[in-house]
Chain A
């Protein structure tokens, strides 16, 4: 940069000297013409030099391109991947990028084998060793290729016709595909074997951009919120100019790059062809070059931003109108100001736009209004202000922290009636137990024991036989439940981009069930793992309900966006130590988890074996668009089956369904 500056200054000085010399010659001809070369050679040399430099400038302009601050699509909700994306990624790396061939192959084979073994054990009801044997022998399926996958065969050969007609998949991909479909068929999972859906271009599903983390190949095709969503709006080398405003590094847009080529080429062409009018056109190029060079970075530190909401305390799903007013309180004119409100990732804009491009003089204000759908949580977000100078050659991005937050707390509903298992506390309530005592429903008649209350003595029998007997009624007790949320990174998944993630769905379900359970006199507590410890002991009462409501809305462990990497590391909370140490022995657990990996299965099993009844409510986040997603669906079904074998109740909740329906279905199954 410095060298460039020096060269520029040097050239400018030389230019001025030559210009003075020429101008002097122009006005006072006599003394100069004598010693200056008076041939056309000099002029032609200048022309040719100009032309060549012009070509050089074209080249550098072409290479330089135009840069500007990328702005994400803040209007759209943040998208979460569907489970199984990791396998798709591995396959993509293997087949398209040709990385780590053998280890990736091993990984893929291992995962498929794991799923197949689970399916075989499930269906044949055999030991693991037998299942592995079956798999290795290829006895489990009629499909030759699928059997060969685990028996060390080779991928199916592709007919030449397929290759010519643009079959996008490599033989290996097809092989994996066939095998996954065979396992799905074997495990009896419907909807996973549509041959139409086997060709999936990874670029379509945003896989490519996900692969590269959106660093370089982040082309602006399609919605940007999907891949280029920046969690951090502040660069590493940003400077904080005021309490609320942070400047990111200046961007030279290069929008005028190439205008000097225009000037140089015009000079060259004009001088070489001796056409003064063309040389004159170069003046424009010079003027615009100077215009671009003269730009000073705009001052954004004096922007005063005010954001108001038509309502600040809302419930999820409500539409909130947001009005943003920006005032330039500084003394300088901002000729080009682009404002983008950083709507939080969980919310989506439903009318208006959170963007505005304007120019603000000193004391001017600009206002824009839009409407968002409020989502659970406390939200406060910054505004991006991108300022440019008149010419647009320099661009500065400022992140302005705006005060004013919106609080969105779900109301606890009584819509979903959650079946409670036979494990109750010592407090009286409405859950039937298998014990006799005082209550409403007849339970048994037993021999009279001393100190039995008089009103429960069966007087009719006494009159008939003369024996004293006591009627026992079914004892009704309150259950003590703890809602345990699986809020690990792996749970932030959704079947379709833009849908609520599984953690959100879990909390929605919990909110629906909480009220009904509390109404029945049960005591409900909350807990989550594994990033931030979260614990609310089971209790009852209005104050407790309110505490739970606030917790649902604001606790970081249940937030609708996954925890940051830095936050998560070193804060690992083992649900065993954290939850179990506080869990009273008679508590039963309701575990909310999408069951995307075996970890949660382990948690459920360990809690179960330590004497707590466990009900798993599992929103199903799996999709079937890609091989990986189909495999993830198989794996999840196997997990559900494993849990059910263990006598752990699982409510397999379809993503689009109403929770109440899923619970009714589950209740019917359990009743049998």
Chain B
């Protein structure tokens, strides 16, 4: 009979995004916004808006679309910052932070849906976040190395060919 069981209440299940990844996502978004802002005033509204939308998608009800829109805003602010002549180093940091913010946010929502915010998820999140960060660092490092070595007055034909190759490659490995 349920006389004893009436006293113990069922746990509530919290499917909001997990905290660690959410905070990491917002931190990354702030880094992206701050690094893209200083050299281009036009990038500021997009950057700030991106941060706000992304944060709202995590802390005010889980919403993948808002996280993606926020990241897209940050990405546009990075492009604008690039157009206004921000240096490649800062641009790389900004770009990497944008992608990471997007991915951490996605992971927070995914973990929230499957596991929930009230369960232990820390180890999983840390490993996911560090792996993605390492990939960003390695990618940025290799790219920057090639950029530094290869810069200089080179024929347009070569640049064109390389750009075309890049497009082919990206399309071939697109996720």
Using a CB–CB cutoff of 8 Å, the interface residues on chain A facing chain B are 8-9, 11-12, 14-16, 18-19, 21-23, 25-26, 29, 32-33, 36-43, 45-47, 49-50, 53, 57, 65-66, 68-69, 71, 73, 75-77, 220, 223, 253-260, 262-267, 269-271, 273, 275-293, 316-319, 335-338, 340, 348-353, 355-359, 368, 373, 386, 390-393, 410, 413, 498, 500, 508, 511-512
Q: In the complex the two chains form, is B3's CB within 8 Å of A335's CB?
A: no
List the B side residues contacting A500 at CB < 8 Å. Answer: 2
- Give A571 Cβ to nearest chain B Cβ, in Å: 30
Using a CB–CB cutoff of 8 Å, the interface residues on chain B facing chain A are 1-5, 8-11, 13, 15, 18, 64, 68, 75, 78-79, 82-83, 85-88, 91-92, 94-96, 99, 103, 106-107, 110-111, 113-116, 118-121, 123-125, 127-128, 131-132, 135-136, 138-140, 142-144, 147, 150-151, 154-175
List the B side residues contacting A413 at CB < 8 Å. Answer: 1
Partner of B162, one of A19, A256, A289: A19
Instruction: With A66-B106, A257-B175, A287-B139 as known contacts, state yes or no: A42 contacts B161, CB within 8 Å.
Output: yes
- Give B130 Cβ to nearest chain A Cβ, in Å: 10
- Give A16 Cβ to nearest chain B Cβ, in Å: 8
Q: In the complex the two chains form, is A285's CB within 8 Å of B170's CB?
A: yes
Q: In the complex the two chains form, is B4's CB within 8 Å of A317's CB?
A: yes
List the B side residues contacting A258 at CB < 8 Å. Answer: 68, 175
19 contacts between A and B (CB under 8 A): A16-B165, A29-B158, A41-B160, A43-B156, A49-B167, A53-B170, A68-B110, A69-B114, A220-B113, A260-B173, A278-B82, A280-B147, A317-B4, A351-B11, A353-B116, A358-B124, A373-B8, A410-B1, A512-B1
Q: In the complex the two chains form, is B170's CB within 8 Å of A282's CB?
A: yes
List the A side residues contacting B167 at CB < 8 Å. Answer: 15, 46, 49-50, 53, 264, 267
Q: In the complex the two chains form, is B111's CB within 8 Å of A338's CB?
A: yes
Partner of B127, one of A57, A262, A336, A338: A336
List the B side residues contacting A49 at CB < 8 Å. Answer: 164, 167
Instruction: With A220-B15, A275-B82, A286-B166 as known contacts, state yes or no: A11 contacts B160, CB within 8 Å.
Output: no
Q: Which of B79, B103, B163 has the most CB of A within 10 A?
A: B163
Give the residue name and chain of the B residue nearest to A252 (CB): B175
List the B side residues contacting A273 at CB < 8 Å. Answer: 83
A379 vs B140: C-alpha distance when bound (angstroms): 53
Q: In the complex the two chains form, is A278's CB within 8 Å of B162's CB?
A: no
A20 vs B26: C-alpha distance when bound (angstroms): 41
Q: In the complex the two chains form, is B150's CB within 8 Å of A26's CB?
A: yes
List the A side residues contacting B11 at CB < 8 Å. Answer: 75, 349-353
Q: In the complex the two chains form, is B139's CB within 8 Å of A286's CB?
A: yes
Q: In the complex the two chains form, is A293's CB within 8 Å of B175's CB?
A: yes
- Give B109 Cβ to nearest chain A Cβ, in Å: 8
Q: In the complex the two chains form, is A18's CB within 8 Å of B168's CB?
A: yes
List the B side residues contacting A36 at CB < 8 Å. Answer: 157, 161
- Give A657 Cβ to nearest chain B Cβ, in Å: 12
Partner of B144, one of A271, A280, A293: A280
A335 vs B134: C-alpha distance when bound (angstroms): 14
Q: In the complex the two chains form, is A262's CB within 8 Å of B75's CB?
A: yes
List the B side residues contacting A259 at CB < 8 Å. Answer: 99, 175
Instruction: With A19-B162, A277-B86, A277-B87 as known contacts, state yes or no: A284 contacts B92, CB within 8 Å.
Output: yes
Instruction: With A19-B162, A42-B164, A281-B92 as known contacts, state yes or no: A289 contacts B174, CB within 8 Å.
Output: yes
A486 vs B31: C-alpha distance when bound (angstroms): 65
Q: Which of A25, A37, A38 has the most CB of B within 10 A?
A: A25
Instruction: With A338-B111, A386-B114, A392-B107 as known contacts, state yes or no: A66 contacts B64, CB within 8 Å.
Output: yes
Give the residue name and chain of the A residue nearest to B111 (CB): A357
List the B side residues contacting A293 at CB < 8 Å. Answer: 173, 175
- Give A592 Cβ to nearest chain B Cβ, in Å: 15
- Give A524 Cβ to nearest chain B Cβ, in Å: 18
List the B side residues contacting A355 at CB < 8 Å. Answer: 114-116, 119
Q: In the complex the two chains form, is A43's CB within 8 Å of B119's CB?
A: no
Partner of B91, one of A12, A278, A337: A278
Q: In the complex the two chains form, is B162's CB within 8 Å of A23's CB?
A: yes
List the A side residues contacting B5 at CB < 8 Å. Answer: 316-317, 319, 373
Query: What 14 new A-B contacts, CB under 8 Å, besides A42-B160, A71-B114, A358-B123?
Result: A16-B165, A23-B162, A32-B158, A49-B164, A66-B64, A277-B91, A283-B143, A283-B144, A284-B92, A286-B169, A317-B4, A351-B11, A359-B124, A392-B110
List the B side residues contacting A349 at CB < 8 Å. Answer: 10-11
A421 vs B161: C-alpha distance when bound (angstroms): 98
A273 vs B86: C-alpha distance when bound (angstroms): 14
Q: Which of B144, B159, B175 has the most CB of A within 10 A?
A: B175
List the A side residues contacting B175 at CB < 8 Å. Answer: 254, 256-260, 288-289, 292-293, 393
- Give A368 Cβ to nearest chain B Cβ, in Å: 7
A286 vs B118: C-alpha distance when bound (angstroms): 35
